[in-house]
Structure 1
Amino acid sequence: MKIEIQLKQKTLLFFLLLFLCTLKEETVFAQKPEMHYGDLDIPTRPYAKDPYVIYFQGTYWMYYSVPGAQFKEWYIGIANSTDLTHWEKKGNLKGQKGTVEEKGICAPGALVKDGVLHLFYQTYGNGKLDAICHAFSTNGIDFERDATNPIFRPKISDWSCGRAIDAEVVAYKNNYFLYYATRDPDYKIQQQGVAVAPITANFDRNSWSEVPNMPMLKPELAWEKKCIEAASCIQKGKYLYMFYAGAYNNEPQQIGVARSVDGIHWKRMSEEPFLTNGEAGTWNESESGHPNVFKAQDGRYYLFFQGNNDKGKTWYLSKVEIGWNKKGPYLKK
């Protein structure tokens, strides 16, 4: 009888634990946002980072970073959508062998000029020699490289090791501003710099003039730790707003906002993150990072970002809607 009771107790305990595990899985699933995109080039490991969304030829395009199966190479994934939530993979843009792109490319940024889509991206795997490249397309999938690639890297100086990653190019006040992240000479601190080109520029290497007296933004707040990167800018009224990533991946990386009237001098909007990582058990527990601010065709604004809950074993892309008031941007509920 005693053995029978113990067996019943163990059976009840087993089913109770099974029920709790199922409940937990359902709870976590329910916390996932409507847009939860992971590239399945590696079928067992959804992986997409560094989103950039743009409207081109009547549809929405998203460019993002994705690794090869052995994580020895990175390239740019291409997907499109009609609703900014459900995305269909359309192809990949891979680094060209025998060039500075050979080890990989990633972290895309994009703009449309005169009906042509221009893509700005970084080389990968070259340490201090990583730099910004440029390509252009008339259909969003097939790209022609700039003959002068790489088009930009900062001079080696007392503030920069000469590296440039995470390009964002935006038209503002009759110039193009190229925002980039770089490391300090000791290769420990990630900070922001900027170069400018005239509005008539074709984006080649000769177009860009490095702005002196950098860094433009460097980590100063506790949550930013040793890194500011991944600038994404949008004009609203007389201001240019910059959404940026603070702290390295999974520390956690979170998103802040600064604004400027000249594109060079910036003031943070808050000492706290604009978008934090998620609570324990949620899909973005490990971070909410690498922002991309975007205005849709219907006038609504979205902040796209990357997140995960396993310290980077997988990565997903998502979005939140933002609104604007006299104080600046805010998260819509």
Structure 2
Amino acid sequence: MMHFADNSRGKPYSKDPAVVRFLDSYWMYYSIPSFEDGREQDGWAIGIAVSEDLHNWKTVGEIKPEHAYEKNGFCAPGAIVWEGSIHLFYQTYGNGPKDAICHAVSDNGIDFVRNATNPVFSPTGAWNNGRAIDADVIIFNEKLFMYFATRDPKGEVQIQGVATAALNSGFGRDAWTQACDDTILEPVYPWEGQCVEAAATCKRGDKLVMFYGGAYNNCPQQIGCAVSDDGIRWERLFTEPFLPNGEQGSWNSSESGHPFVFVDEATDRTYLFYQGNNDMGKTWYLSNVEIVWEGHIPSVKK
């Protein structure tokens, strides 16, 4: 079983995975926290690891702050390969309702050039508080769909929204059109608490399937699943968590959360990456399970 954590901060700690196939290897981007080894606190950043088999990972670098909008940190990457480059969509951190989505691009997987218009997206409308975090992007119906988490106007309940951009747009601030005038997914079931976040989408035929984190971290967050015909209107597939937290004593007893779904086109196999811990967030590890399908209905491969 994959069980990975970046130790560059003095303890095993990696959150919010995103995985792509690039330059004949697998690349994983993830959140890492401020330094804890005596150096100056410099906010969250994004770590980079590479694998040849999706199970054994080697840390190869990190993306550090470069601009004023990143000074409080940045994290929660979403990634896609488009026209030979990795496009990374990530959130600013520590700015409350002013946190927004940024965009950067890389030709080698390690060095990223920021979009000159960053931050590129924040939601509008009376249904949200202006915040945008946890970006997930997918090509669907000849557009780039970007899913994001925001909060209700009081800033209490985490909910989902979506925006779209033309594929030839460069994905800058003027490229995005908010595709909803209300939340597309909000907490409904008791296990989802006050939070639906971290959308993770993939295509199945002419449908989109979304995995998502339900409930705030360590409440416990668990992973749910929904389906859509148009990328905007969603219907849950299950009333209970698709991937629950682990039993007492297991490595993920505090949480199985913040999913990312990776479809390996080289093998036509699907993997659900997620974060977990058993100490209420003092450490964080990343893992994955393989998903098998019956049409658009997923299950964990046994």
Residues 107-122 of structure 1 mapped to structure 2, 5 A cutoff: 107-122=76-91
Q: Does 1:136 align with 2:93?
A: no
Question: 2:221 aligns to what?
Answer: 253
Which deviates more from structure 2 when the two are superposed, residues 220-229 or residues 196-205? 196-205
Match of 1:305 among 274, 296, 299: 274
Residue 51 of structure 2 corresponds to residue 85 of structure 1: no
Letter in 1 for 2:258: H
Partner residue of 2:26 out of 41, 60, 70: 60
Q: Aligned partners of 1:83 and 1:127: how far apart in 2?
A: 38
Q: Does 1:331 align with 2:297?
A: no
CA contact (8 A) 2:207 2:296 kept: no
Matches of 1:264 and 1:119, distance apart in 2: 22
Q: Does 1:294 align with 2:262?
A: yes
Deviation (angstroms), 1:201: 2.0
Q: Which amino acid aligns with 2:171?
A: F
Which one has a larger percent helix, Structure 1 or Structure 2? 1
Equivalent residues of 2:74, 2:92 under 8 A apart: yes
Deviation at 1:299, TM superposition (A): 1.6
Offset of residue 295 of structure 1: 1.4
Where in structure 2 are the equivalents of 1:89-104 lying within 5 Å? 89-97=59-67, 99-104=68-73
| Pick aligned residue for 1:50 from 16, 20, 23 | 16
Report the equivalent of 1:22.
none
1:212 and 2:180 are equivalent in the alignment: yes
Cα distance in 1, alignment partners of residues 29 and 63 from structure 2: 9
Q: Which amino acid aligns with 1:277?
A: N
Aligned residue type for 1:136: V
SS of the equivalent of 1:258 reads strand
Aligned to 2:6: 39
Q: Map 1:126-205 to 2 at 5 A.
A: 126-155=95-124, 157-205=125-173
Is there any run of 5+ residues in structure 1 with no aligned partner, and where?
1-33
The alpha-carbon deviation at position 200 of structure 1 amounts to: 2.2
For residues 327 and 169 of structure 1, the distance between their equivalents in structure 2, rounded to whole angstroms, comes to 19
% of aligned pairs identical? 54
Amino acid at match of 2:218: N
| SS across alignment from 2:89 | strand
Counterpart of 1:322 in structure 2: which amino acid?
I
How far 1:326 moved relative to its partner? 3.3
2:228 is the alignment partner of 1:268: no
> TM-score of the superposition, structure 2-length normalised?
0.96
1:146-194 C-alpha deviation (Å, 9 max, x unpaired): 0000000012x32111000000111101111110000111110000001
Confirm or deny that 1:234 pairs with 2:202: yes
Q: 1:315 aligns with which of 270, 284, 289?
A: 284
CA shift for structure 1 position 62: 0.2
Query: How far apart, in 2, do the equivalents of 1:198 and 1:144 lie?
Result: 20
User: Which secondary structure state, in structure 2, belongs to the residue aligned with residue 100 of structure 1?
Assistant: helix
Q: Deviations over 1:106-143 (max 9, x none)?
A: 00011111111110000001111000000000000001
Q: Which structure would you say has the larger Rg? A: 1
Q: TM-score, normalised by structure 1?
A: 0.87
Opposite residue 306 of structure 1, the aligned amino acid is Q
RMSD: 1.1
Give the unaligned 5+ runs of structure 2: none
More strand, by proportion = 2
Structure 1 stretches of 4+ with a deviation exceeding 6 A read none
SS at match of 2:69: coil
Partner secondary structure for residue 223 of structure 1: helix
Aligned length: 297
